Amino acid sequence: MNLEVAKLTADKYGKLTVDENYRTEVSHIFAAGDVIGFSSLASTSMKQGWMAACNAFNEDARCVAALFPYGIYTIPEISVVEKNEEELTRDGIPYEVGKAFYREIARGQIIGDSTGMLKLLFHRETRKLLGVPIMGEGATDLIHIGQAVMAHDGEVDYFVDTVFNYPTLAECYKTAAFDGINRLE
């Protein structure tokens, strides 16, 4: 990319550093996608590019980059949004974990996925949802439910109060919420 001519410096992994507006160290150069960090799906890179373009032209652009979901299309699928347990522990955030295994859910039994799992990570005191990792069939589809709740500063209790279609893997959210809340008492 001839970064030297642009007066840009990549880190030891060849990535460029950007601020929350996707602006590089050179104020008139913006960057997005795989060149700025962890390999992203095209949808994330496209949103970052849109944000960078809006910011470059001083257009209003709202988005919470921390809520971009990651998806890995392996067998089983893996998807995650927001914080993980290591980050929460490192940051001293009091959290609890609720788990649901696909084998506990009718849909998981129907599709024969006995290894899938969904976790809800939430604040022990406020019950605010902090992260959702999922491993199993359809993880990259299921992640958006947790992402939406986090985008609205939702609590784990939302899942207890919600009616999910039966039989669907989305029921994992309710099972995991009950599991986590029961650990509090």
Could you tell me the CATH number of the domain that includes residue 124?
Answer: 3.30.390.30
Beta bridge partner(s), residue 80: 70, 133
- In this structure, the strands spanning 95-101 and 78-82 are unpaired
Assess whether 131 and 100 both reside in one domain: yes
Assess whether 73 and 58 both reside in one domain: no
- Domain CATH number, residue 15: 3.50.50.60
Q: Quick one: pLDDT at residue 40?
A: 67
Q: Quick one: pLDDT at residue 65?
A: 79
Of the candidates 131, 129, 127, 135, which has an alpha carbon nearest to the alpha carbon of residue 182? 127
C-alpha–C-alpha distance, residues 166 and 91, integer Å = 37
Assess whether 50 and 76 both reside in one domain: no
C-alpha–C-alpha distance, residues 44 and 133, integer Å = 17
Assess whether 135 and 53 both reside in one domain: no
CB 24 within 8 A of CB 10: no
pLDDT less than 50: residues of the chain: none
Which residues, at least 6 apart from 73, have a Cβ–Cβ distance to it below 8 Å? 140
Q: Taking the model in full, what pTM does it have?
A: 0.85
Assess whether 157 and 179 both reside in one domain: yes
C-alpha–C-alpha distance, residues 4 and 10, integer Å = 10
Assess whether 74 and 162 both reside in one domain: yes
Q: Quick one: pLDDT at residue 39?
A: 64
Which residues, at least 6 apart from 89, have a Cβ–Cβ distance to it below 8 Å? none
Q: Domain ends where: 42, 63, 84?
A: 63
Assess whether 56 and 142 both reside in one domain: no
Assess whether 22 and 90 both reside in one domain: no
Bond before 76 cis per omega within 30 degrees = yes
Assess whether 42 and 100 both reside in one domain: no
Q: Quick one: pLDDT at residue 97?
A: 98
Question: In this structure, is the dihedral angle defined by the CA atoms of residues 159, 160, 165 and 166, taken in order, positive or negative?
Answer: positive
Length of the chain: 185
Q: Quick one: pLDDT at residue 61?
A: 82
Q: Domain ends where: 63, 82, 100?
A: 63
Residue 50 half-sphere exposure toward CB, CA atoms < 13 A = 12
Domain that residue 14 falls in? 3-63
Q: Quick one: pLDDT at residue 159?
A: 98
SS3 state at 122: strand
How many domains are contained in the chain?
A: 2
Q: Quick one: pLDDT at residue 116?
A: 97
